[in-house]
Amino acid sequence: MTAPRARAARRDRRAILTGLAWTSPWLFGASLFMFLPMALSLWYSFTDYPLIEEPIWTGTSNYARMPDDPTFRRVVWNTAVYSAISIPACTVLSLVLAALLSMRIRLARFFQACIFVPTLVPLVASAMVWMWLFNGEFGLINRLLALVGVRGPTWLVDQQWVLPSLVVMSLWSVGQSVVIYIAAIHEVPRQLYEAAVLDGMSPLRRFFHVTLPMISPAILFNVIVMLINTVQIFAVPYVMFKRPDGQNPAGHFYTMYLYENAFVYGQMGYACAMAWLQLLVILALTAVMFIGGRRLVYYRGG
Amino acid sequence: MTSAGEITRRGALGLMAAGGAGFLVFGPRGQRADTRGRIVLDYWEKWTRHEGDAMMRVVDAFNQSQSRIFVRYLITADIGQKSLVAIAGGAPPDLIGLYAYNVPPYAESNALMSFDDLAPAFGLSLGQYAPGVRQVMQHRGRWWASVNTAGSVALYYNKRAFREVGLDPDRPPTTLPELDDAHRRLVKARDKGPLERVGFFHPEPGWWSWLWAYHFGGSIYDAQADRSLVDSPENHAAMAWMQSYARDLGPDRCKAFKESFGNYFTPENPFLTGKVAMIIQGPWLANLVTAFAPDFDYGVAPFPVAPGLSDPAAPVGLIDTDVLVIPRGARHPEASMEFVAWTQRQDMTELLASAHCKPSPLASTSPAFRATHPNRGIGVHYDIFQSPRAFVPPQTRAWQQFKDEVDTMVQRLWRLEVSPEAALPPLERRTQGFIDRAAEERRRRGGAS
Amino acid sequence: MTTDAPRSPVAHALLYVLLASVALTFVMPLVWMIATSVKPESQAASQRITLLPDPASSLPGVAQENYARVWNDRAVEFPLYLRNTLIVAVLSVVGMTFSSAAVAYGLSRVRWRGRGAVMALVLATMMIPFPVIMAPLYVVFRGIDQTMESVGLLPRFESLRMIGSLKPLWVPAWFGGAFNIFLLRQFYMGLPRELDEAARIDGCSHWRIFWTIILPLSRPALAVVALFHFIYVWNDFVGPLIFLTDRDQFTLALGLQLYQGQAGNTPWNLLMAASTLVVAPVLLLFMVTQRTLVGGIASAGLKD
């Protein structure tokens, strides 16, 4: 009686060892390059750590400082507003483009490639290109506006135009989500559309009543990925707005300020506190989306 | 896709891979000199192009002058911040060419070796340097750095533009009202249309947006009391003065005008193209003239001051320097100091200074140096060095953050988004907060406060 | 499924016009970038809209001059940065692809208790924003150096040193990446179970199955991982920004940033020529591998 069970247990243990062996590269790498730094950063977030000297425990003072820090409030506001505009705008645009491109038309692949290409451009390069396009005097956008008699603003200087300019830039890189949505639309069963046509639904209503619900899992996935990336916006504003003559306050974002605190101002403790707050906010928002998603997202067979 | 298509695609991929591999193997590498048997010192410096070449000549001369030590010149971007990280990481270079304002935070964090202990053995003393320059080499009573090059900041003006509007090209403005007057006469615009030329333009190049208060007889930091003076009457006056320009020219026109400027080190520099007739600049501007507009007719004068403050014997001006330090943890402090002493020799200092188009930081200079100096106004920069009213960037550990905050606010003031009355009191509280926190950090670590 | 295009010719034509203008808008910035890169400086900063330089100046001449100036600039050494980027990209892509495949194998073809938990952990790490680990990661690499010093590896084998080298940019890739593991695991889960069961009965080890059966079968998925990772490394800015100090070690993304910022600035036409040089290899790669890449992204987003 006990012998087979012991043998099974031994087999079980051996399987676990095998599994651990195969996954050990990641387990080791993640411990060293992910979990250990996370633990360190959690510890630093409770210290005064000027980087150049040893950390000294100061309790929650770094967290307590945040509400009174006007720059912190500004970067939170900028990042939140940017995300709140950019994520929905990108989602809507990519859904519309995906819907158009999944029609049976010639050149669809070509159009798709055109839309996808910008996502390949290194962020630093695209920041440069857009600085050139948005230049108040020589930029293509203002030159085009001048053709129709409009004097365009200095996009990247005017406080009220900085965020819209960045949102336009973010729209430029919806290529990846478009591709995901097109693939999702392709998987929607044909019968559903046929039934909808028989019911006399217009193409627009078909989109809202058939396509959207059927691809909602892909939308949820995409929005979450976008959220994680958008909240971390760094390279583009860093290249665009970090100048020897000062930072444009409208182009100052959360991760930029975090970076400055860590590596420029010698406030590593504060930077780590900011990082952990960012992590918690992302986790909370993702959780909210999953819970909200459970009501809105349609999972086939589930 | 046809099989022919597959083949060409494979072929293209293969070709790219082969090209990449070939470049990997045969591509350029960073240069590494033969250093066998010598102490190798890593020297991080920020300069590139002609400025870097000049420093490299000094380094080469040192490497050839003896066979015991070899200095490796490494160009480092964002030097202040990279050095911070490297020292923190326990892997600092042996020598770093920092900005003067980096000295206080580094010194207070115990991240530098003091020159008080090391320098005298190599014949260096503070007395060798021009009085204004000495200020930046010391912090809290200790000596921390030698000076690579030093510049002072003055008014550069376009003589041709002066003549064109009937201003005397040999009598530059000495007070701010005179500057305002010259500016107004120099403004050129197609009525209500875009600006074509202005006299003076605060945000160009915008590197020292905090310094106007000093030309009103004030300051933005009191080193004795360790207090921010951003909300001082002098700074209020300075900001109001700056805003009067933006208001007269029109904030939107100003923004568009600034966007039309070419980059600094190009022939499109707005001073060289004549868009800005008067500019606050260091002596190195003459290098731009030589490079891009050899016939450009410019004059140099101390930057004007508020009425009643003018004193030709004691001009007001910022002294901005590049310093050479030995970080804590450097492996060969003695050898490093030997190199430092080499750079401070009169001939080396002058070699560097004339290539950078700056005055020599030393108290005494050779007659040939001044006679052949490429900047025709170098005398003005010397006068500032000697002046009791010369000033240096605030020497506080919090300066980097202090400055960033002030820069940002000055930009907003320039765009007329906020008034000095609304902006400056909170700015002072905030910058004082940085200073207080730095003091607290110091106390926490048991340093003298 | 694909939906039908509108039947009325007017609607059909409108659809094409719409799509064409959208496509044009998306490629315009790149077209403009390339166009500016072949103009002389004076024409780059002029109010007139022209795609190519004025006929007065010869196009090949200007283009050659601009690109030669970028390539030969002593302050921003393009060829050197290109080589550094290739080193990081090659080492990192090889490590990432191989390790991710192995870990994905362990998470899909080996049955063991705890597999689900590890998979959940992998997925969870995808949510961690980089800033959380950005700063302490430096401390970790310093710790590795110190450990090597204490066991006597350093300074004897100086090339092992992490800080001040390119290693922090590619060594972590050798332990796999969460997203790629996820992608490959999805692929392996789709492979028929009989494949390795038969081999197991024949007494094959996991390693042999992995090496001789699974890897060859998963070539398309491996290509997707390699491509993604290559593009990621090519474009990465923050990693090099934190870990690279010496300009001789800069990567392209970081080198490009040198043009911006500091006092010694560069005219727009040269800036655009430099940007074109950085973008070109990725664009070429895309043209060659479009289908694999796009298919890979599509499948990554779907099989959730």
Chain A contact residues (CB < 8 Å to B): 48, 50-53, 56, 58, 70-71, 135-138, 153-154, 157-159, 243-249, 260, 263-266
C30 contacts chain A (CB < 8 A): yes
The arithmetic mean of pLDDT across residues A61-81, rounded, is: 95
Token pair for B94:
């042996």
Report which of B270, B402, B381 is spatially closest to residue B320, judged by C-alpha positions.
B381
The arithmetic mean of pLDDT across residues A256-268, rounded, is: 91
The arithmetic mean of pLDDT across residues B94-101, rounded, is: 92
pLDDT of C303 strictly over 60: no
DSSP code for B100: G
**For the segment C260-270, what is each residue's pLDDT rounded down to a tens digit?**
644 345 678 88
What's the rounded Cα separation, in Å, for the pair B365 and A36? Answer: 56
Cis peptide before B205 (omega within 30 of 0): yes
* pLDDT confidence tier of residue C94, bands split at 50, 70 and 90: very high
The arithmetic mean of pLDDT across residues A51-72, rounded, is: 92
Mean of the per-residue pLDDT values for chain B? 89
pLDDT of B417 strictly over 50: yes
Contact C272 A128 (CB under 8 A): yes
User: Which one of A44, A52, A141, A263 makes the best mutation probe of the B interface by having the most chain B beta carbons within 10 Å?
Assistant: A52
Report which of A181, A184, A203 is spatially closest to residue A193, judged by C-alpha positions.
A203
A283-294: buried (b, 16+ CB within 10 Å) or exposed (e) per residue?
eebbeebeeebe
Give the pLDDT of residue B87. 84
DSSP code for B38: S
A19 contacts chain C (CB < 8 A): yes
- B87 CA to chain C: closest CA distance, Å? 11
- A260 CA to chain C: closest CA distance, Å? 11
Give chains near B: 3+ CB pairs under 8 A: A, C
Residue of A nearest to B82 (CA): A263
Report which of C71, C73, C63, C72 is spatially closest to residue C269, judged by C-alpha positions.
C63
- A236 CA to chain C: closest CA distance, Å? 10
Give the pLDDT of residue B6. 59
The arithmetic mean of pLDDT across residues B118-122, rounded, is: 92
Q: Are A268 and A40 in contact (CB under 8 A)?
A: no
Nearest to A137 among B206, B260, B417 (CB): B260
- A110 CA to chain B: closest CA distance, Å? 15
Report which of A222, A226, A227, A219 is spatially closest to residue A296, judged by C-alpha positions.
A219
Residue of B nearest to A261 (CA): B401
Residues 6 or more apart whose CB falls under 8 angstroms from that of C290 comprise A113
Partner residues linked to A72 by β-bridges: none
The arithmetic mean of pLDDT across residues C111-134, rounded, is: 89
Q: Which residues of C touch A147 (CB under 8 A)?
A: 49
Mean of the per-residue pLDDT values for chain A? 90
* pLDDT confidence tier of residue B5, bands split at 50, 70 and 90: low
Contact A48 B444 (CB under 8 A): yes
B417 contacts chain A (CB < 8 A): yes
Cα torsion at A170, A174, A177, A182 (round to 10°)?
160
Report which of B356, B185, B160, B152 is spatially closest to residue B273, judged by C-alpha positions.
B160
- A278 CA to chain C: closest CA distance, Å? 8
Cα torsion at A152, A155, A158, A163 (round to 10°)?
130
Residues 6 or more apart whose CB falls under 8 angstroms from that of B120 comprise none
Contact A245 B106 (CB under 8 A): no
Nearest to B24 among C83, C141, C267 (CB): C83
A186 contacts chain C (CB < 8 A): yes
What's the rounded Cα separation, in Å, for the pair A246 and B345? Answer: 36
Report which of B278, C252, B77 is spatially closest to residue A242, judged by C-alpha positions.
B77
The arithmetic mean of pLDDT across residues A167-175, rounded, is: 93
The arithmetic mean of pLDDT across residues B382-402, rounded, is: 91
Query: Which run of H or of E encompasses B86?
Result: helix B79-88
Q: Which amino acid is at A98?
A: A
Report which of B362, B322, B323 is spatially closest to residue B130, judged by C-alpha positions.
B362
Phi, psi of B443 (to 5 degrees): -60, -45
Chain B contact residues (CB < 8 Å to C): 1, 9, 12-13, 16, 20, 23-24, 27-31, 44, 48-49, 52, 74-77, 82, 85-86, 88-91, 205, 207, 262-268
Give the pLDDT of residue B31. 63
**For the segment C32-49, what is each residue's pLDDT rounded down to a tens digit?**
899 989 988 777 767 677
B109-134: buried (b, 16+ CB within 10 Å) or exposed (e) per residue?
bebbbebeebbeeeebeeebbbebbb
Residue of A nearest to B111 (CA): A52
* pLDDT confidence tier of residue C243, bands split at 50, 70 and 90: confident
pLDDT of C85 strictly over 90: yes
Nearest to B412 among A244, A249, A266 (CB): A249
Contact B404 A260 (CB under 8 A): yes
Residue of B nearest to A61 (CA): B437
What's the rounded Cα separation, in Å, for the pair B28 and B34? Answer: 17
Report the range of poorest mean pLDDT among A215-229, B9-23, B341-355: B9-23
Size of interface B-C (CB pairs under 8 A): 103
Q: Where are the beta strands (DSSP E) in C110-257?
A: none
Contact B408 A56 (CB under 8 A): no
Cis peptide before C155 (omega within 30 of 0): yes
**Coil vs helix vs strand at A142:** helix
* pLDDT confidence tier of residue B86, bands split at 50, 70 and 90: confident
Contact C301 A180 (CB under 8 A): yes
Distances (CA, A) of A272 to A46, A275, B159: 9, 5, 54
Q: Which residues of C touch B44 (CB under 8 A)?
A: 245
**Coil vs helix vs strand at B129:** strand
Contact A246 B407 (CB under 8 A): yes
Residue of A nearest to B194 (CA): A137
> Given 3-state DSSP classes, what are the helix, strand and coil percentages for chain C, each rounded to the nearest 5?
75, 0, 25
Contact C75 B24 (CB under 8 A): no
pLDDT of B159 strictly over 60: yes
Contact C41 B74 (CB under 8 A): no
Give the pLDDT of residue C130. 86
Q: Are C243 and C169 in contact (CB under 8 A)?
A: yes
Give the pLDDT of residue B33. 65
Q: Are strands A246-247 and A242-243 parallel, antiparallel or unpaired?
A: antiparallel
The residue whose two tokens read 């050898």 is: B335
Nearest to B203 among A56, A245, A266 (CB): A245
DSSP code for B158: E
Token pair for A199:
């019911």
Q: What is the pTM of this model?
A: 0.91
